[in-house]
């Protein structure tokens, strides 16, 4: 589905531009959905879904060193509030359907403009001169984001900033229907002359949007394989360890920190002594000196305790004050008590890990697998494994659903639904224009995703119970705060997992994983599965090799059409080049064509670079794409429709699209578009055995046996059994 743009056309008819602004400003309104006071430090909106809190915080420090909510910035804050409400309530013509997060971004831009006005020594945006606006326009090309400081903004970001300036201008200068103004401040003349100028300048200053890099295949496949192994093979053992660990924590609770109790008591004694002194009650210090007997009796202590190094200073300090009760001595005494009271509160002692380790029976080794994490030696290792399993489940979901991290982290525990035709994932989509923070969409999902979701549901159960929350991606570790991972923590977890399973570097160079890269990884997997499929052994085992088609089929529903065709082109070039230069053995109708042409070129002693150029030209000109099937590739091109066996003869023509799901293996084997490489040998060997069994079964019907004989003959050729026999 195409991602919708939030922006709309902006009018530049100039009709709203009076020579100078006259008239009153409207009374301030409440934005739709605001839950609370208009003048509170943070606006909260309760109409959202998923884990995102819909807040608009106003707690920002401005360039004058004061908070936005400070009376010194009253008009600036009012401008931000008014603008927010104007867009949210769509108070003006052509107002955008902006989501709360987009509004948040718009307010950020306005604050930034105000900061720049302050830096020019101006009290408001309306005081800025044309020259100063020119400077601001140019500065908008540079990022002020602390993570990206000084880098060129993208074209889209510059356009976003310019559009906010345009909106500010027209809302400040344009009288609404009631002849009142919406904004209290804004540019006092049009900063841009036309939409063309906005567009042109944004293109000039902005950089093209950076494409998320593709995870190289050399680490993508091992990473995904490891993630699937964790989800499918190791999860049961991890749950067993987790259950035992949590049960032991409850059975042997963490001992209480006794020093905390003692500190509380000392503070109480010292404050009690001062209070008695203020009240004129001298019973605890009858001779202007503390009576240890009276004091210990009053607080139920052993008198000897008062001579302990922790209590002695209290007695000595108070005796000193009684001997010289000056104001300074009193202040000193009070500050000492406050300091003691402020000392770090109740530091939880660590659980008895040694005991737990013994009771759990560590070291522990579980089910075997290529990326096996065993043995687990310590309780901390168990916690790390829980985290790794969580990350693995995330990678599986992200890879096969190709959704954004915020959308995946927004899933709740009831996100999988079973329909007649299989499983569907109910996923919150944030970026597609719903102003209330997202919509729920149902998308078909493969079985491996259902398994990953089951794993993460079980993993986060203790945390969800503790916080009475329903978010899927909660982890037992987040028990204290009850929050799910933020993007930075998520990226760290992915990098850690990649390192643990040894899929983090290529030729010694560490790959910087981030969660967004998984949106493209499935495309890589889908287009290249058969060439590199052996690497995803865990998936093959889990689904059975034939069923992999069902899983990869979901890729066809992806929204990343471009990425898909780019990847398919890459793979096509890679395979044809491997035929041309590595002498890779291929079979099938397409193979005959390629080998003929390539050998002709070689006989003519055409240099290798020209052969490579020919391959690229051929692939691009004919729009050739290799479509993987379990038995080989269907080489589809502009002219493939003319000779495709799966199309009725009278309908074959140039420029025809490849028929969907119509392929039949027996047709393909004799088709001019068919290409078989060595990675499909396993399929054909198994097919040979199957046909052979039927052909030799006297109980099988004759028609079936004769069909099996033909099938056996075809399979024999493609399994290259003749060569092996020879
Ligand atoms: S018969 Fe098979 S190889 Fe030939 S065009 Fe159809 S799907 Fe492709």
Q: Could you report the per-residue pLDDT of 123-137, keeping only the tens digit for each? A: 999 999 999 999 999
- Residue 386 has a pLDDT of 92
For the entire predicted model, the pTM comes to: 0.59
Identify the residue whose C-alpha is closest to ligand 1 atom 8.
Answer: 634
Mean pLDDT estimate for the chain = 81
* Distance in angstroms (rounded) separating the CA atoms of residues 20 and 324: 73
* Distance in angstroms (rounded) separating the CA atoms of residues 365 and 602: 56
Express each pLDDT in 464-496 by its tens digit.
888 888 889 887 554 455 567 777 888 999 999
- Residue 93 has a pLDDT of 78
Express each pLDDT in 576-591 by its tens digit.
888 888 878 889 999 8
Whether the pLDDT of residue 230 is over 90: the answer is yes
The pLDDT of 280-293, averaged and rounded, is: 89
Whether the pLDDT of residue 702 is over 50: the answer is yes
Which segments of 299-352 does DSSP mark as H helices, in order? 312-323, 327-342
Residues 6 or more apart in contact with residue 592 via CB below 8 angstroms: none
Express each pLDDT in 644-691 by its tens digit.
998 888 989 998 888 866 556 668 888 999 999 887 887 788 889 889
> Regarding predicted confidence, which is higher, 629 or 454?
454
> Regarding predicted confidence, which is higher, 316 or 543?
316
- Residue 17 has a pLDDT of 44
- Residue 557 has a pLDDT of 44
Of 530, 516, 531, 520, the C-alpha closest to 565 is: 520
CATH 1.10.1130, domain 217-252+362-527, yes or no? no
Phi, psi of 435 (to 5 degrees): -65, -20
Identify the residue whose C-alpha is closest to ligand 1 atom 5.
Answer: 644
Whether the pLDDT of residue 536 is over 70: the answer is no
Least confident range of 257-261, 294-298, 405-409, 517-521: 257-261
| Residue 237 pLDDT grade (very low, low, confident, very high; cuts 50, 70, 90) | very high
- Residue 495 has a pLDDT of 94
- Residue 400 has a pLDDT of 83
Express each pLDDT in 591-618 by its tens digit.
888 888 877 777 767 777 788 888 888 8
Does residue 644 have its Cβ closer than 6 Å to ligand 1? yes
- Residue 705 has a pLDDT of 92
Whether the pLDDT of residue 53 is over 60: the answer is no
Identify the residue whose C-alpha is closest to ligand 1 atom 7.
Answer: 663
Whether the pLDDT of residue 431 is over 80: the answer is no
Q: Of ligand 1's atoms, which has the minimum distance to the CA of residue 663?
A: 7
Q: Where in the sequence of the chain do the CATH 1.10.443 domains occur?
A: 217-252+362-527
Q: Give distance in angstroms: CA of 552 to centre of ligand 1.
A: 18
* Distance in angstroms (rounded) separating the CA atoms of residues 252 and 705: 69
Cβ–Cβ < 8 Å for 473, 460? yes
The residue to mutate among 624, 644, 661, 714, having the most atoms of ligand 1 within 8 angstroms of its beta carbon, is 644
Peptide bond into 363 cis (omega under 30): yes
> Regarding predicted confidence, which is higher, 382 or 16?
382
- Residue 4 has a pLDDT of 35
Does residue 285 have its Cβ closer than 6 Å to ligand 1? no
Express each pLDDT in 624-648 by its tens digit.
888 877 788 889 999 999 999 988 8
**What is the residue-wise DSSP string for 258-314?**
HHHHHHHHHHHHHHHHHHHHHHT--TTSTTSS--HHHHHHHTT--GGGGGSTTTHHH
Tokens matching residue 311 = 């209590």
Does residue 671 have its Cβ closer than 6 Å to ligand 1? yes
Angle between helices 100-119 and 74-88 (to 10 degrees): 150
In a 10 Å sphere around its CB, with 0-12 CB exposed, 13-18 middle and 19+ buried, how is residue 424 labelled?
middle
| Residue 115 pLDDT grade (very low, low, confident, very high; cuts 50, 70, 90) | very high
The residue to mutate among 630, 667, 676, 677, having the most atoms of ligand 1 within 8 angstroms of its beta carbon, is 667
């Amino acid at each position: 589905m195409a991602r919708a743009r939030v922006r709309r056309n902006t009018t530049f008819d100039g009709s709203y531009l009076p020579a100078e602004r006259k008239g009153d400003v409207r009374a301030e309104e409440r934005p739709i959905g605001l839950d609370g006071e208009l003048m509170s430090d943070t606006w909260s909106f309760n109409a959202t879904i998923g884990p995102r809190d819909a807040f608009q915080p106003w707690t920002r420090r401005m360039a004058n060193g004061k908070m936005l909510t400070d009376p010194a910035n009253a008009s600036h804050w009012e401008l931000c509030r008014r603008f927010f409400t104007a867009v949210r309530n769509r108070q003006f013509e052509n107002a955008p359907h902006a989501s709360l997060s987009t509004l948040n971004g718009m307010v950020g831009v306005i604050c930034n403009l105000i900061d720049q006005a302050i830096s020019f020594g101006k009290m408001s945006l309306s005081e800025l001169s044309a020259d100063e606006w020119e400077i601001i326009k140019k500065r908008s090309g540079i990022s002020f984001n602390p993570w990206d400081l000084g880098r060129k903004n993208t074209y889209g970001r510059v356009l976003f900033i310019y559009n906010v300036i345009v909106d500010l201008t027209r809302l400040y200068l344009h009288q609404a229907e009631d002849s009142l103004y919406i904004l209290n401040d804004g540019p006092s003349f049009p900063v841009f002359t036309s939409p063309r100028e906005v567009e042109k300048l944004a293109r000039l200053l902005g950089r093209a949007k950076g494409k998320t890099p593709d995870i190289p295949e050399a680490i993508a496949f091992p990473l995904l394989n490891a993630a699937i192994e964790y989800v499918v093979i190791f999860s049961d053992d991890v749950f067993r360890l987790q259950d035992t660990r949590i049960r032991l924590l409850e059975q042997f609770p963490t001992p209480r920190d006794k020093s905390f109790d003692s500190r509380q008591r000392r503070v109480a004694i010292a404050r009690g002594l001062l209070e008695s002194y203020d009240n004129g009650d001298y019973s605890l210090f009858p001779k202007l000196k503390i009576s240890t007997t009276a004091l210990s009796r009053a607080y139920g202590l052993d008198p000897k305790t008062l001579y302990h190094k922790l209590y002695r200073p209290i007695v000595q300090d108070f005796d000193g004050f009684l001997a010289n009760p000056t104001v300074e001595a009193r202040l000193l005494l009070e500050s000492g008590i406050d300091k003691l009271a402020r000392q770090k509160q109740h530091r939880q002692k660590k659980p008895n890990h040694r005991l737990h380790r013994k009771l759990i029976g560590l070291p522990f080794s579980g089910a075997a697998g290529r990326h096996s994490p065993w043995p687990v030696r310590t309780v901390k290792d168990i916690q790390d494994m829980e985290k790794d399993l969580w990350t693995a489940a995330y990678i599986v979901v992200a890879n096969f659903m190709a959704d954004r991290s915020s959308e995946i982290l927004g899933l709740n525990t009831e996100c999988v639904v079973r329909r007649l035709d299989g499983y569907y994932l109910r996923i919150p989509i944030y970026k597609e224009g719903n102003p209330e923070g997202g919509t729920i969409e149902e998308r078909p999902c493969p079985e491996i995703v259902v398994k990953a979701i089951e794993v993460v549901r079980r993993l986060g159960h203790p945390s969800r119970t503790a916080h009475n929350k329903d978010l899927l991606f909660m982890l037992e570790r987040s028990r204290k705060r009850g929050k799910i991972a933020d993007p930075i923590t998520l990226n760290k977890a992915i990098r850690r997992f990649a390192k643990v399973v040894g899929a983090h570097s290529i030729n010694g160079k560490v790959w910087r994983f981030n969660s967004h890269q998984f949106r493209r990884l499935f495309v890589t997997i889908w287009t290249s599965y058969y060439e590199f499929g052996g690497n995803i052994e865990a998936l093959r085992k889990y689904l059975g090799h034939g069923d992999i088609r069902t899983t990869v089929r979901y890729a066809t529903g992806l929204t990343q059409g471009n990425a898909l065709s780019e990847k398919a082109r890459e793979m096509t070039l890679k395979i044809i080049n491997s035929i041309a230069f590595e002498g890779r053995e291929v079979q099938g109708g397409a193979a005959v064509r390629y080998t003929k042409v390539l050998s002709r070129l070689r006989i003519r002693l055409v240099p290798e670079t020209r052969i490579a150029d020919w391959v690229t030209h051929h692939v691009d000109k004919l729009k050739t794409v290799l479509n993987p099937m379990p038995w080989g590739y269907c080489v589809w091109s502009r002219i493939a429709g003319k000779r495709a066996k799966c199309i009725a003869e009278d309908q074959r023509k140039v420029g025809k699209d490849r028929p969907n799901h119509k392929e039949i293996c027996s047709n393909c084997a004799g088709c001019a578009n068919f290409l078989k490489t060595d990675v499909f040998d396993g399929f054909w060997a198994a097919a040979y055995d199957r046909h052979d069994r039927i052909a030799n079964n006297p109980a099988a019907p004759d028609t079936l046996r004769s069909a099996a004989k033909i099938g056996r003959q075809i399979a024999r050729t493609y399994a290259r059994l003749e060569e092996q026999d020879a």
